[in-house]
Amino acid sequence: MSSKSVKITAILSLLIVISLSTTTVYAITGNSQPDNTHSFVGIVVFFNLDESGNKIPVSISSGILLSPTAVLTAAHGCATESALVCFDRGPLSWSLQDNQLQIEGVTSTYEGNAYPNPDYKINVAGKKGLPEFLHRDLALIILKEPVPSSVVNTYAQLPSAGFVDTLPKKTDVTLVGYGLQSRSASHTPEFIMRNYAGAKTVSGDFAWSDEFLRCSANPGHGKGGISFGDSGGPVLLGQTNIVLAVHSYAANPNCAGITYHTRIDVPEVLDWIAEVSMHD
């Protein structure tokens, strides 16, 4: 589906509500740069249909193209079965007017159906001082038509089982995702674009280390971090296209300190990705 402007009535998800209620919210934080490299990372809009057949957005997150028709993202943004994915780098501008969300700068979108991981759970009891968290925070979107190679001609690569456990402390990683770069109190346009930042892994010896990868997220020290809208984007090994984990949640509402990312090198997760990808 091609268009220069997408205008849809907005029912705001918790993700967007948090962004709107904050004075200043950034996307990939710290030493972030506009991203021209990782074309396989896109923005995902989950939607419902109203009585007239209009698409009603429910949540916005980032996603990772694994093949021409398979997009990996976070399950906590997967509020509906139906999704639209766009791979424009941006900047994409959006504004809320008369309860409508208007997005400018979109050249093409791809519709698909979402399949959350069957083991996804919300508010799993924490342990060893960790708060409640999201378990297996992953979903796959199977697109109804392939993304042309003229739009994306390279794909993210999956790791081997247990690969994260072989990494040394403070391994260099690249964080990629979309999110609000700025937030004002008015309904003037805000800007969304794909950004990336360097970060380092934090020791894997912690509660839930078999399910999560931890990364440094302290913009004051020039490290990259994640914020609202980046959920579902990848943690990439160094400068490669190997996806170690998917952005899930931060340890505090300021998105500073330590961030948690759902590992995809878990054998059951890799099996699930292979099985669901057979739908394409």
What are the sequence ranges of the domains in the chain? 5-277
One-character DSSP codes across 25-74: --SSBSS-EE-SS-TTEEEEEEEEE-TT--EEEEEEEEEEEEETTEEEE-
Structure tokens at 50: 């109203």
Structure tokens at 217: 């997220």
Please list the pLDDT of the chain residue by residue as tens digits (280 residues).
333 333 333 322 223 322 322 222 233 444 567 788 999 999 888 888 878 777 777 778 899 999 999 999 999 888 789 999 999 888 777 655 554 556 677 888 899 999 999 999 876 665 554 555 678 999 999 999 999 999 999 999 999 999 999 999 889 999 998 865 555 444 445 667 888 888 889 887 777 788 989 887 654 555 556 655 678 999 999 999 999 999 887 665 555 567 889 999 999 999 999 999 986 5
**Cα 200 to chain center, whole Å?**
18
pLDDT at residue 3, rounded to an integer:
36
pLDDT at residue 199, rounded to an integer:
86
Q: What gap in Å lies between CA 190 and CA 97, rounded to an integer? A: 12
DSSP designation for 96: E
DSSP designation for 91: P
Comparing CA positions, the residue from 159, 116, 141 lying closest to residue 263 is 159
Label the pairing between strands 70-73 and 55-67. antiparallel
Residues 224 and 199 sit within 8 Å (Cβ to Cβ): yes
* Fold exhibited by the domain 5-277: Thrombin, subunit H (2.40.10)
pLDDT at residue 69, rounded to an integer:
96
**Cα 189 to chain center, whole Å?**
22
